[in-house]
C-alpha cells in the first residue's frame, strides 16, 4: 500500500471522529507549545542578561584593578591595594595605548542644608559614565574641561537626589563633600540591569578625578582605565599590561583585568540560565509524555471499536504489516498535527513576548524542527502497541465482534 | 481447485478438547456451485474459514489450485486470500464510514492497484451488481439487499476464482434474498466457483451440489439435476 494511500486512509478515519482526534491532538499540542515557549523565554532571558552584563565590554577600555578590590579579604603583607603613578606609567608605556586614566572609589558623606547621606564616591575622567555604567538622565555629565580645570562639579544618582532634595530641582544646587562645596550638574541612573547596578549601592556621587585628588589628597586610585587605540587587540594588550604590572608589584596576582571578570561572570550566568531552561523544559516535557499516553489510550480504544473493521480488512487480504501501518500512520498523523500546532503556538508566544516585554525570545529553528520530528516519534511509540494489538487479532473473532 | 483431505479442527477449552471438524474430505472443481448445509454448530462456518484461509486446521491437507497452502506464512496467505478468494458475509461487513465505491476499492488497495484503474474497476463492478447509482453512498444509506450487492462487488474486486458466501441471504427478506442468490448463480454461470454456506434448504437448492453437514462431518452429498 502506498504512503499517500495510508495517509488518505488515516485522515478519513480521523475525520470520522473529529472531536476525539482533536482533543487527543491537544495533549501533544500543549506539550510541544510549552516546551518551545520555555526554550524561547530561556534563550531570550539569557541573551538579555548576558547582553546587560557584558554591555560595553567590547569597548576599547581596559579596566585594571588590584585583586584585593575584586576578592575582599584580609590583605596579605605587601598586598597591592591601590594603583600608584609608577603603575600608570607602566601602562602608558605600551604601544597601542591611547591614554591612561585613574578612577577612585570610596565612601564619603555629603551634606546639603540640614540633610546628609552616606554615599559611594566615584571619581574619574569625563567618560566615567561609560566606565561606571550610568546614564545622565537630567542636566549633563562633567566634561573634560571640568576635569582639566579641577572644577567643583558633581553628578548625583537619582536616589541620592531624592534623599537630599526630595521633589525639588537638584540641578544647580550646592552640596558639601568633606567641607568642599560642589555644584550639582547632572542626575544619573544606573544603566539598566548592568552588573554594576547589582553590585554598587544606589546613593552615588560622581566627581572629576582631579577634584577628588584636591579634596582627598591621600586617596590612591582604585582602578586604572587604559584607553586602547582603534584596531588594537584589546584582550591581548590587557594581558600584557597586567603581566607587566604584576612583575612590577612582585606578585603574580596583584592586578586583574576586571572586564575579563565580567566575561567570566556572564559565561557563568549563561550556564545557569541554560541549566534552568533545561530543567523547566524537562518539566514541560512531562506534559508531552501525558499527551503521548493520551494518544496511546485513544488508539487502544479505537482498535477495540474497530475490531470488526480489522477483521474485514484481513479477510480482504490485508497483511499484518498493513494493519500495523494503518494504525501507526493514524497516531503519527494525530501527533504530527499536534506538533505543528504546538510549534506555531510556541512561535506565537515568543513573538508576543518579544512585542510585550522586549525580552528577545525566539525559537531556534533546529529546536522547532526537532520538536516536529519528536512529536512524530511519539506517534510511533504510542501507536505501536495498539497497532500490534490490532494486527494480532484473530480475524475470525474480529469478524464476529459486534 | 479446492481439495481438502482429512481436515480436522478442534478447540481447546480449559483441558477439554472440543472437535469441530472431524475429518473432512472435500473436492470442489473450477466453476462449481456448491452449497454446504447444516444446522448451527455443525462446523460449516469453521469449514468456510479454513477454505477461505482465515483459519488453519488442526490436521489434514488443503490444496488450492493444486498448491498445498497450509505451510505458507501468514503474509503469503493474505496475498492468496486477496487474489483468489472473495468473501460474502451474512451481515455484509462493509466498512461503515467508507462509501460503496471505497469499499469495493479496498481489496485492490491491498493488491497495490493504482488509483485510477482501481476506481474504474470498482465502478464497473458496481454497475455489474446494479449499484452504480449508489457508488458514493455510505453503507448505512443503503438497504440490506443493496449492501449485499456492494459486498459482492467488493468480493469480486481482484477477480478471485472462488466466492465464499456465509449465509448471504440470512439478513434479507425472501425476495431480496432470492435476487442475491440469482446474482450468485449468474456469477457462477460465467465460470466462477461459488461456495455457499447456509442452514436454509431453500438457499441450499441454489447449488448444483449440496453437502449436508452434521456434527463436524459431511454426512450426505446430493447432486441436483440441471434444472434450476
Q: List the domain range (segments joined by +) for residue A135.
A: 104-220
Torsions phi, psi of A269, nearest 5?
-60, -40
Structural contact between residues A180 and A113, judged by C-beta atoms closer than 8 angstroms: no
Whether A319 sits inside 8 A of B110 (CB atoms) is yes
Whether chain A has a CB inside 8 Å of the CB on B99: the answer is no
Residues of A in contact with B170 (CB under 8 A): none
The whole-number pLDDT of residue B228 equals 47
Structural contact between residues B137 and B99, judged by C-beta atoms closer than 8 angstroms: yes
User: Choosing among B44, B78, B92, B93, which should be mutated to test the A contact, i.e. which has the most A CBs within 10 A?
Assistant: B78
> Does residue B2 lie in a domain region?
no
Question: Residue A309's closest chain B neighbor by CA?
Answer: B95
Mean pLDDT of B14-24: 92
The whole-number pLDDT of residue A79 equals 55
> Does residue A81 lie in a domain region?
no
> Does residue A97 lie in a domain region?
no
Whether A317 sits inside 8 A of B82 (CB atoms) is yes
CATH of the domain at B154: 3.40.50.300
Residues in chain B: 228
> Does residue B181 lie in a domain region?
yes
Whether chain A has a CB inside 8 Å of the CB on B49: the answer is yes
Number of domains observed in the structure of chain B: 1
> Does residue A122 lie in a domain region?
yes
Burial status of residue B117 (CB atoms within 10 A of its CB: 0-12, 13-18, 19 or more): exposed
> Does residue B130 lie in a domain region?
yes
Based on the domain organization, do A162 and A273 belong to the same domain? Answer: no
> Does residue B19 lie in a domain region?
no
Structural contact between residues A166 and A112, judged by C-beta atoms closer than 8 angstroms: no
A–B: how many Cβ contacts below 8 A?
64
> Does residue A94 lie in a domain region?
no
> Does residue A362 lie in a domain region?
yes
Least confident of A53-57, B22-26, B139-143, B163-167: A53-57
Whether chain B has a CB inside 8 Å of the CB on A316: the answer is yes
Last residue of a domain, one of A158, A190, A220: A220
Structural contact between residues A396 and B55, judged by C-beta atoms closer than 8 angstroms: yes
Is the per-residue pLDDT at A202 higher than 80? Answer: no
Question: Residue B164's closest chain A neighbor by CA?
Answer: A315
User: pLDDT digit string (tens) for A267-300?
Assistant: 788 888 889 888 988 888 898 999 999 999 999 9
* Complex prediction ipTM: 0.94
Q: Cell digits for A264?
A: 567570566
Based on the domain organization, do A200 and A296 belong to the same domain? Answer: no
Based on the domain organization, do A216 and A313 belong to the same domain? Answer: no
> Does residue A240 lie in a domain region?
no
> Does residue B176 lie in a domain region?
yes
**Residue B97 is nearest to which of A13, A316, A318, comparing CB atoms?**
A13
* Better pLDDT: A130 or A393: A393
Is the per-residue pLDDT at B144 higher than 70? Answer: yes
> Does residue B118 lie in a domain region?
yes
Residues of B in contact with A302 (CB under 8 A): none
User: pLDDT digit string (tens) for A94-120?
Assistant: 888 888 888 888 888 898 888 888 888
Whether B112 sits inside 8 A of A2 (CB atoms) is yes
The whole-number pLDDT of residue B29 equals 94
What residues are paired with A56 via a beta bridge?
Answer: none
Whether chain A has a CB inside 8 Å of the CB on B19: the answer is no
Based on the domain organization, do A47 and A110 belong to the same domain? Answer: no
Q: Show the beta-strand stretches assigned E in A16-141.
A: 61-66, 97-112, 115-124, 134-139
Based on the domain organization, do A215 and A282 belong to the same domain? Answer: no
Based on the domain organization, do A396 and A309 belong to the same domain? Answer: yes
| A56 band by pLDDT with thresholds 50, 70 and 90 | low
Is the per-residue pLDDT at A192 higher than 70? Answer: no
Q: List the domain range (segments joined by +) for residue B215.
A: 31-41+74-223
- ∠ CA A144-A149-A154 to the nearest 5 degrees? 70
> Does residue B100 lie in a domain region?
yes
> Does residue A19 lie in a domain region?
yes
Whether chain B has a CB inside 8 Å of the CB on A320: the answer is yes
Mean pLDDT of B86-102: 93
User: pLDDT digit string (tens) for A344-387?
Assistant: 999 999 999 888 887 888 888 888 899 999 999 999 999 999 99
B210 CA: distance to closest CA in chain A (Å): 25
Number of domains observed in the structure of chain A: 2
Q: Cell digits for B123?
A: 465502478
The whole-number pLDDT of residue A312 equals 95
Amino acid at each position: 500500500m502506498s504512503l499517500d494511500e495510508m495517509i488518505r486512509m488515516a485522515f478519513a478515519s480521523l475525520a470520522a471522529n473529529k472531536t476525539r482526534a482533536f482533543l487527543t491532538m491537544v495533549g501533544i499540542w500543549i506539550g510541544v507549545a510549552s516546551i518551545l515557549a520555555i526554550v524561547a523565554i530561556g534563550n531570550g532571558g539569557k541573551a538579555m542578561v548576558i547582553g546587560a552584563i557584558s554591555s560595553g565590554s567590547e569597548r576599547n577600555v581596559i579596566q585594571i584593578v588590584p585583586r584585593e578590590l575584586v576578592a575582599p579579604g584580609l590583605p596579605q603583607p605587601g598586598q597591592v591595594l591601590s594603583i600608584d603613578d609608577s603603575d600608570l606609567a607602566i601602562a602608558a608605556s605600551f604601544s597601542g595605548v591611547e591614554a591612561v586614566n585613574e578612577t577612585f572609589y570610596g565612601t564619603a558623606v555629603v551634606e546639603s542644608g540640614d540633610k546628609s547621606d552616606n554615599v559611594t564616591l566615584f571619581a574619574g575622567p569625563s567618560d566615567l559614565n561609560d566606565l561606571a555604567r550610568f546614564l545622565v538622565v537630567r542636566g549633563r555629565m562633567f566634561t573634560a574641561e571640568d576635569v582639566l580645570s579641577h572644577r567643583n562639579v558633581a553628578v548625583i544618582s537619582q536616589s541620592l537626589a531624592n534623599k537630599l532634595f526630595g521633589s525639588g530641582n537638584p540641578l544647580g544646587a550646592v552640596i558639601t563633600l568633606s567641607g568642599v562645596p560642589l555644584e550639582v550638574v547632572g542626575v544619573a541612573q544606573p544603566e539598566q540591569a548592568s552588573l554594576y547596578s547589582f553590585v554598587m549601592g544606589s546613593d552615588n556621587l560622581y566627581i572629576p578625578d582631579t577634584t577628588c585628588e584636591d579634596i582627598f589628597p591621600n586617596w590612591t586610585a582604585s582602578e586604572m582605565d587604559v584607553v586602547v587605540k582603534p584596531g588594537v587587540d584589546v584582550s591581548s594588550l590587557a594581558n600584557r599590561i597586567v603581566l607587566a604590572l604584576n612583575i612590577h608589584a612582585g606578585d603574580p596576582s596583584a592586578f586583574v583585568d576586571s572586564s575579563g571578570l565580567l566575561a567570566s561572570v556572564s559565561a557563568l550566568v549563561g550556564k545557569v540560565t541554560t541549566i534552568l531552561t533545561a530543567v523547566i523544559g524537562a518539566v514541560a516535557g512531562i506534559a508531552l509524555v501525558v499527551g503521548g499516553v493520551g494518544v496511546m489510550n485513544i488508539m487502544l480504544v479505537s482498535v477495540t471499536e474497530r475490531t470488526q473493521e480489522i477483521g474485514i480488512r484481513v479477510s480482504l487480504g490485508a497483511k499484518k504489516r498493513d494493519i500495523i501501518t494503518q494504525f501507526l500512520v493514524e497516531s503519527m498523523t494525530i501527533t504530527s498535527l499536534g506538533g505543528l500546532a504546538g510549534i506555531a503556538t510556541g512561535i506565537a508566544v515568543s513573538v508576543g513576548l518579544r512585542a510585550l516585554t522586549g525580552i528577545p525570545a525566539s525559537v531556534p529553528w533546529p529546536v522547532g524542527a526537532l520538536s516536529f520530528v519528536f512529536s512524530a516519534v511519539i506517534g510511533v511509540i504510542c501507536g505501536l502497541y495498539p497497532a500490534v494489538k490490532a494486527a494480532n487479532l484473530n480475524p475470525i473473532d474480529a469478524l464476529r465482534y459486534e | 481447485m479446492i481439495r481438502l483431505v482429512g481436515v480436522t479442527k478442534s478447540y481447546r477449552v480449559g483441558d477439554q478438547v472440543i472437535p469441530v471438524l472431524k475429518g473432512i474430505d472435500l473436492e470442489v472443481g473450477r466453476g462449481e456451485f456448491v452449497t454446504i448445509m447444516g444446522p448451527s454448530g455443525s462446523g460449516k462456518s469453521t469449514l468456510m474459514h479454513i477454505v477461505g484461509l482465515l483459519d488453519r486446521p488442526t490436521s489434514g491437507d488443503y490444496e488450492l489450485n493444486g498448491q498445498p497452502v497450509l505451510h505458507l506464512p501468514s503474509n503469503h496467505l493474505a496475498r492468496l486470500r486477496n487474489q483468489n478468494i472473495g468473501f460474502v458475509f451474512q451481515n455484509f461487513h462493509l466498512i461503515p464510514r467508507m462509501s460503496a465505491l471505497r469499499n469495493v476499492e479496498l481489496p485492490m488497495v491491498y493488491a497495490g492497484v493504482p488509483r485510477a484503474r482501481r476506481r474504474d474497476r470498482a465502478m464497473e463492478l458496481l454497475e455489474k451488481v446494479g449499484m452504480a447509482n449508489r457508488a458514493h453512498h455510505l453503507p448505512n444509506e443503503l438497504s440490506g439487499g443493496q449492501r449485499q450487492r456492494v459486498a459482492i462487488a467488493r468480493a469480486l474486486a481482484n477477480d478471485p476464482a472462488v466466492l465464499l458466501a456465509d449465509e448471504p441471504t440470512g439478513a434479507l427478506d425472501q425476495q431480496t434474498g432470492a435476487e442475491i442468490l440469482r446474482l450468485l448463480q449468474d456469477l457462477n454461470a460465467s465460470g466462477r466457483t461459488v461456495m455457499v454456506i447456509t442452514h436454509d434448504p431453500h438457499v441450499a437448492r441454489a447449488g448444483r451440489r449440496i453437502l449436508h453437514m452434521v456434527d463436524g462431518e459431511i454426512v450426505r452429498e446430493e447432486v441436483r439435476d440441471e434444472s434450476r
